């Protein structure tokens, strides 16, 4: 038995962990629910800690290039120490709150390539940490966010890509150490414009919407009017025609700078 305990402490014949999400579809501010199933190994073992968290793969600037980094931005401990008997199954349910700033990973039911966000489970046994696989979470836009995204679609913009970048956007309500950029190709009607980048920074009442134009090569240098930030309430967003609002801003800026 002593030899089995030694092997278990080294990871051979020890307890294993599996996380099952009962609801992987969520919106910012919502709750991901699931359960952690711990399968006892060949001997009884003392579990020193069990936690679940949200992890994102973000881009980090490193010199003159960018590297990918796994960043845990939420962590929740599930209870205290306990013992799992040999061969027994121990089930721990959980509800993990999703921060309002969490990037969207799915639009219109389609996953966004490169948006790797999921639940990471950690099981601590004898001062060792066993990390489970990342269980993907599908984060859908809030209705207020979808209204802005749909407005770009109505204007003829096409989705290009999205990424998550480590850093901060000044003069916003940002709390997380990273943010998302959603990029759209501009339609021909805005002939001097290459693309627009869109960022949401939300809390439980409203959100900051940050837009940045990217002009085509060969045009005049950008000015500060190619960047725009405004606030949108989650409960009164439907009172504005966002298609007309965005078109007016794009047309005014493009006209002043001879883009269109």
Burial class (CB in 10 A: 0-12, 13-18, 19+), 209: buried
pLDDT of 138 > 70? The answer is yes
2-139 has which fold?
A: Immunoglobulin-like (2.60.40)
* Residue 208: partners with Cβ closer than 8 Å, 6 or more residues away: 169, 172, 173, 174, 200, 201, 202, 229, 230, 231
Q: Which pLDDT value is given to residue 127?
A: 57
Q: Does residue 116 carry a pLDDT above 80?
A: yes
Handedness of CA 127, 129, 130, 132 (dihedral sign): positive
Q: What is the dihedral of CA 229, 234, 236, 238, to 10 degrees?
A: 80
Instruction: Judge whether residue 57 has pLDDT over 60.
Output: yes
pLDDT of residue 222: 45
* Crossing angle for the helix pair 143-154 and 242-256, to the nearest 10 degrees: 50
At residue 11, does pLDDT exceed 70? no
Confidence of residue 99 (pLDDT cuts 50, 70, 90): very high
Q: Where are the domains of the chain?
A: 2-139, 143-256
Q: Which residue has the tokens 């980094």?
A: 69
Instruction: Output the DSSP codes for 51-113.
Output: EEEEEEEEEEEETTEEEEEEEEEEEEE-SS-EEE-TT-EEEEEEEEEPPTTPPP-EETTEEPT
The whole-number pLDDT of residue 190 equals: 87
Question: What pTM does this model have?
Answer: 0.86
pLDDT value at 20 more than 50: yes
pLDDT of 27 over the 50 cut: yes
The pLDDT of residue 152 is above 60: yes
**What confidence score (pLDDT) does residue 247 get?**
94
- Binned at pLDDT 50, 70 and 90, residue 25 comes out as very high
Task: Output phi, psi for 154, to 5 deg.
Answer: -65, -30
- Residues 83-94 have pLDDT tens digits of 888 888 989 999
pLDDT at 124: 86
């Amino acid at each position: 038995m002593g030899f089995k305990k030694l092997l278990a402490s080294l990871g051979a014949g020890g307890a294993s962990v599996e996380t099952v999400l009962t609801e992987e579809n969520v919106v910012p501010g919502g709750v991901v629910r699931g359960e952690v199933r711990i399968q006892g190994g060949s001997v009884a073992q003392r579990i020193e800690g069990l936690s679940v968290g949200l992890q994102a793969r973000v881009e980090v600037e490193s010199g003159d290039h960018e590297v990918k980094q796994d960043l845990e931005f939420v962590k929740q401990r599930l209870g205290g120490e306990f013992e799992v008997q040999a061969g027994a199954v121990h089930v721990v349910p959980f509800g993990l709150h999703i921060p309002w700033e969490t990037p969207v990973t799915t639009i219109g039911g389609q996953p966004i390539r490169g948006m790797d966000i999921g639940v990471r489970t950690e099981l601590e046994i004898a001062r060792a940490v066993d990390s489970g696989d990342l269980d993907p979470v599908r984060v859908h836009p809030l209705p207020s966010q979808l209204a802005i995204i749909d407005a770009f679609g109505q204007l003829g913009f096409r989705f290009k890509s999205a990424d998550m970048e480590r850093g901060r956007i000044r003069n916003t309500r940002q709390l997380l150490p990273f943010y998302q950029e959603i990029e759209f190709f501009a339609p021909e009607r805005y002939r001097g414009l290459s693309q627009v980048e869109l960022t949401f920074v939300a809390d439980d009442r409203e959100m900051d919407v940050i837009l940045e134009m990217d002009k085509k090569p060969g045009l005049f240098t950008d000015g500060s009017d190619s960047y725009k930030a405004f606030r949108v309430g989650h409960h009164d967003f439907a009172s504005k025609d966002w298609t007309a609002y965005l078109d007016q801003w794009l047309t005014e800026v493009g006209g002043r700078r001879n883009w269109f």
